[in-house]
Amino acid sequence: MTHRVAVIGAGLAGLSCARVLRRAGAYVEIFEQERVIGGRVGTARIGVVPFDHGAQYITARSERFKSYIEELAATGYAARWNARAGSGEGGAGQMLPWYVGTPGMGSIARPLAESVRINTGCRVHTIKRLEKGWHLWFEDQTSAGPFTQVAVAVPAPEARLLLGRLDELAEPLARVRMSPCWALMVRIDERVLPEQDVFSDMSQVVRWVSRNNSKPGRAGRGETIVVHASPVWSRETEDADPEAVAEELWGEVSHVLGLPPIRPAQMVAHLWRHGLVDTHLGETYLFSREHQVGVAGDWCLGRLGEHAFDSGALLGKAMNEAIK
């Protein structure tokens, strides 16, 4: 009989886990708190203008992820970004090719969602195993279940909350450290940035600036710019008003790049509360055979999209083997 699996979180980890389970014959349902899928590999819009406000590009080291990215490139969902960079930075001369989703980073995640039922706008606040299987409760007090297995594919601090008393899974997660990251999206009617497309580690405040419109498939008038603040500054300001953060970050970028005093046409700051991994778990995933619940995410293996993908895929494989 087809077994029912719930996956919490529609980022790269949750989606790659779901794909492996679905291909092995399980009925898979994903529950995602946001209205869109992709998590930190996402594309936000200010009006009609798209910005890659999370992951900037993707690299692929494992054969598993390489073959997925090649599949995407062959079908038009991804392309190489030969960014012009300063010395020591990636771009055209980097060791590993940089790939981006086309027309936005969200396209890296979207093809994984095929044949899987996705429920968006569903923030899970409790999971519990009852007599017939796992049940999930949402913030609006509705629930879903029973499921034979559950995969929790959310940032480690959120996973700890959901796993509660399941100490064998919750305790190791205490080792993981994640930092917030402010992302600033700026649209300017003229071209203002100096020649490079990416700038990194520019000051105590600004960690990354990129010319979003230099990525393949994003041409347009003027300039779309994505700025990421440093983890330290982001932590100091995580409760600040986003408009004040936007002003301060743009002021800092203008200062360090020596830009003329230009008022952006649009400017929005977004906080990734658990954005970047400082200390990872050092294991590919965690799975309890006894309870039939597992956890995956970038924070298991590292801090990159490729780590999330591999962690999710290998959790899916382990869950599938545990049900045979």
Does 11 bind ligand FAD (CB under 6 A)? Our answer is: yes
Place of tokens 């409790």: 126
Strand, coil or helix: what is 229?
strand
Q: What are phi and psi of 242, to 5 degrees?
A: -55, -35
SS3 of residue 154 by DSSP: coil
Residue 12 touching ligand FAD (CB under 6 A): yes
Q: How far apart are CA 217 and CA 106, in angstroms?
A: 13
The Cα–Cα gap between 159 and 171 comes to 11
Spatial neighbors of 162 by CB under 8 A, at least 6 apart, are 8, 124, 125, 126, 127, 152, 154
What tokens does 236 get? 């100091």
Min CB(142)–ligand FAD separation in Å = 13
Site string for ligand FAD, 174-213 (x = CB under 6 A): -------x-x------------------------------
| Token pair in block for residue 148 | 């034979």
29 binds ligand FAD (CB under 6 A): no
Residue 41 found at the interface with ligand FAD (CB under 6 A): yes
Give the one residue of 34, 89, 238, 247 binding ligand FAD; rule: CB under 6 A: 34
Minimum CB distance to ligand FAD smaller for 120 or for 221: 120
Q: Is 40 in the site for ligand FAD (CB under 6 A)?
A: yes
How many Cβ atoms are within 10 Å of 177's Cβ, its own excluded?
Answer: 13
Residues 86-145 that bind ligand FAD (CB under 6 A): 123-124
Applying CB under 6 A, which of residues 19, 20, 21, 33 lies at the interface with ligand FAD?
Answer: 33
Single out the segment in contact with ligand FAD by CB under 6 A; choices: 87-95, 141-149, 215-223, 272-280: 272-280
- Secondary structure class of 112 (helix, strand, coil): helix
The DSSP letter of residue 282 is: S
| 18 binds ligand FAD per the rule CB under 6 A | no
Give the residues lining the site for ligand FAD (CB under 6 A): 8-14, 31-34, 39-41, 54-58, 123-124, 153-155, 158, 181, 183, 228, 272, 275-276, 297-298, 303-306, 308
